[in-house]
Amino acid sequence: MKLQHNFDEVIDRRHTQCKKWDTYGEDVIPMWIADTDFKCPEPIVKAIQKRAEHAVYGYPCIDKSYEKAVCGWQQRRFHWMIEAEWVEYTPAVVPAIVYAMKAFTHPGDQVLVQVPAYHPFPQVIPHNGRHLVANPLQEQPDGSWAVDWADFEEKAADTRTTMFLLCSPHNPTGKCFTREELLRMAEICEKHHVFVVSDEIHSDIVYQGNVHIPFSSVSDWAANHCVVCVNPSKTFNIAGFRTGAAIIPNRNNHDLFYNEMANLKAFGRNIFGMLAVQTAYNECEYYADQLLDYLQANLQYTHTFLESRIPQIKLGPVQATYLLWLDCRALGMDHLSLMNFFLQQAKVAMNDGYTFGQGGDGFMRLNIACPRAQLQEALLRMERAVRSLAK
């Protein structure tokens, strides 16, 4: 019998050393950082409980179970036929990006990033002695986002640019790149010898009418000049286990990447994290399907609510991710006032768009991966606060 998950269940996460819920006051609904408020799938809970009861937590051996679980998921969900030898465990996605940057670029090089960008990107690039070069995504009249190809090529052609750090699907705009777009990026990067790191952590959350395409699968060149980073953490709410995987089809690239981790002795695996990922990928496809349906309904609810009740806040078409990029520019506030307004007047915590770099000013990022009742309450609070401005 197929398992059913109850995404309406409200879980009290306060006082659990939870970043989302224990950062702001108890009167604030947190709709910010990218984890969900859902319980993780029951098979993961059971697997962890069983392993915990063993009561011996020594060093694990590497028997390729983890790698095979990653392969199975990529093959079944994205039709990307990968091999266990291409997969490398990483202690999360952001560290994997840093290892790749160290392995495939030199200090002083430029890393191309489409902006606005997931906020750690503009942090880890300069912190590791590289420079971020921005390719602003272009806002379309309907609120969707498009690549500025002329600018992309101009930046890629700069000989100082040696890496393109892609976020696919894109956080924070919710854009799901098409095969044609990915292929065009690959062709430009090939022409200008730019290595690609593709952060595909949000690939499971892609809404009807859109398809996630792993970057490495678009061409032979892409397969040989790319690291794809994944983590089931966003989908199954297991970010606290600190897991991830880098998928690197080219053996030489794989060795270069692995050496960076090995030099830092950063390759040790967490026994619970390994188990959580393996169980997620091997046994919890039902959960990913049901989650997507639930999020699709939350998305529809939010669209309808904003259009009919808070038209000052605009939301374009969302193709992927549970992170909505709300255009609040019509409220006419600078970013600090906007953040404070939602936090203090509405009592809703969102991410300040300004922290996502160029193009983020006036936007707020809303996380809708929560029980519908919580989403409804957050939107009602936002409506009340915005209405109070008119008085």
Ligand X SMILES: Cc1ncc(COP(=O)(O)O)c(C=O)c1O
Q: Where are the alpha helices (DSSP H) in 138-237?
A: 149-157, 179-191, 220-224, 233-236
Minimum distance, C-beta of residue 246 to ligand X, in the bound complex (Å): 11
- Check binding of 122 to ligand X (CB under 6 A): no
Cα–Cα nearest to 149, from 136, 161, 133, 158: 136
Radius of gyration, alpha carbons of the chain: 21
Shorter beta-carbon distance to ligand X: residue 203 or 298: 203
Among 171, 279, 351, 374, interactor with ligand X by CB under 6 A: 171
CA–CA separation, 285 vs 387, rounded Å? 42
363 SS3 class: strand
DSSP label at residue 366? E
Among 118, 152, 287, 342, binds ligand X (CB under 6 A): 118
Between 275 and 331, name the residue whose CB sits nearer to ligand X.
275
- The token duo for 325 is 């990029």
Tell me if residue 55 falls in helix, strand or coil: coil
Query: Beta strands 29-30 and 226-230: pairing type?
Result: unpaired
Mask 19-58, x = binds ligand X (CB under 6 A)?
---------------x------------------------
Q: How far is the CB of 203 from ligand X (least distance, A)?
A: 10
Structure tokens at 341: 């307004």
Contact at 8 Å (CB) between 257 and 288? no
| CB closer to ligand X, 233 vs 278 | 233
- CB of 136 or CB of 244, closer to ligand X: 244
**Residue 231 found at the interface with ligand X (CB under 6 A):** yes
Contact 243, 273 (CB under 8 A): yes
Shortest CB 180 distance to ligand X, Å: 22
Pick the closest to residue 348 from 335, 364, 360 (CA basis).
364
Return the residues of window 147-166 that contact ligand X according to CB under 6 A.
Answer: none
- Cis peptide preceding 172, ω within 30 of 0: yes
**233-272 mask for ligand X (x: CB under 6 A)?**
x-----x----x----------------------------
Judged by CB under 6 A, does residue 201 bind ligand X? yes
Nearest distance in Å: CB 81, ligand X:
24
The pattern of x and - marking residues 74 through 103 that bind ligand X according to CB under 6 A reads ------------------xxx---------
Q: Which is nearer to ligand X, 331 or 349 (CB)?
A: 349
State the binding string over 283-322 for ligand X (x if CB under 6 A, else -): ----------------------------------------
Tokens of 264: 């830092």
| Alpha-carbon separation of residue 131 from 128, 148, 228 (angstroms) | 9, 20, 21
Q: How far apart are the first and last CA of the chain?
A: 55
Nearest to ligand X of 243, 331 (CB atom): 243
Name the residues that contact ligand X, by CB under 6 A.
34, 92-94, 118, 167, 171, 199, 201, 231, 233, 239, 244
